[in-house]
Homo-oligomer: A and B are copies of this chain.
Amino acid sequence: MRPLFHPAIEEVTVEAILHALSDPVRVAIYADIIGQQCSQNCSNFLNISDKPIPKSTLSQHFKALREAGLIRGERRGVEMHNTSRCAEIEQRFPGLIAAIVQAHNIQLQDKLRAEKSHKRKVARAK
């Protein structure tokens, strides 16, 4: 198994970051890794979406996040230790990650509110 590739911070591009985070599964993973201050092994995310994600697909998602420079992955025995590189990215592109994560949270809140109000509507209609 060839060693995992991680770009140097100067090689990280905005395009790659935006592309990596434009996928709902990948942002969810990334948000989770940032949230847990420490790390995460991949299999925790098998059910991150509504439909279970095959592990080969998950592996590719982690690869995409790594190669965009968003996370660092290193082997810890049999499993993977994934950490976010947000401090480095913050240095290179100040405020970028924070703005994206915040926008995502706003969207999530909006969706939750919309679902709740829809439920109320359905309840009233009965």
Binding site for B on A (CB under 8 A): 10, 13-19, 21-24, 27, 92-96, 98-100, 102-104, 106-107, 110
Contact = CB atoms under 8 A, between A and B. Distances in A.
Given A27-B15, A103-B93, A110 B10 contact: yes
Contacts of A13: 107
Main secondary structure, interface of A, reads: helix
Given A93-B103, A96-B100, A100-B99, A18 B19 contact: yes
B106 A93 contact: yes
A15 B98 CA distance: 15
B100 A98 contact: no
A104 B15 CA distance: 9
Contacts of A110: 10
A18 to B, nearest CB: 4
